[in-house]
Amino acid sequence: MKMQAPSSKSDNTMNSVFELESNPSAIHEVENIIDVFNRKLKFKEDVFGNIMVAVTEAVNNAIFHGNAESENKKVHICFDTSHAYKLIVKVRDEGPGFDVESLPDPTAPENIDKPGGRGIFLMRHLADELYFNEHGKEAVMTFHI
C-alpha cells in the first residue's frame, strides 16, 4: 500500500490518499485505515458502521469489478474531512468504468435470489450522498460526522 502521510489542518480535519493493490487482502487495509480515522474523529457508532460497510464495499467493487483483480491496476482512496462535519471518501479504480444507470434493481423480484448486485444499493443507503464520476470509475461518498 502506498500512502500519502495524513495531513492535519486542525484537530477536526484529516486528509489522506492511499493507493492499494487490486487484491482482496486490501479490504483489511481499508478497515484499518477507517479505524484510524475513527480513533481520531470519534464517529458515532452508527456512522462508523455505515462508513465501514460502504467504503469496504466500494473498494471491493473497485478490485473485483473495476480492476478485474488485475495486479497491474491500483485502487485509489482519498479521505477528506476538510468540510465541516463531513467525511468525503473517494474510491477510484483503473478499469474501463460502467454506466451506473444500467445496473439492475437488486430489490426487483427477479433479482432477489441473485447472490450479487447489492453493493451500490448498500452504498446508496449507507452514505449520506453518493455519486459516480469519471464514467463510473470513481465513487464519491459523503458521510455526516
What would the grid cell of residue 113 be? 435470489
Coil vs helix vs strand at 91: strand
- Within its chain, how far is the Cα of 32 from the centroid? 13
Q: Which three cell numbers stand for residue 17?
A: 490518499
Q: Are 52 and 98 in contact (CB under 8 A)?
A: no
Closest CA to 43 of 145, 142, 125: 145
Q: Give the model's pLDDT for residue 115.
A: 78
**How would you classify the pairing of strands 86-92 and 2-10?**
unpaired
What residue ranges do the domains of the chain occupy? 14-144
Sort 59 into a burial class: Cβ within 10 Å, 0-12 / 13-18 / 19+: buried
Cell of 103: 445496473
Mean pLDDT by runs of 10 across the 145 residues of the chain is 50 81 95 95 96 98 96 96 93 94 89 86 97 93 97
Q: Which CATH architecture has domain 14-144?
A: 2-Layer Sandwich (3.30)
Contact between 30 and 61 under an 8 Å Cβ cutoff? The reply is no
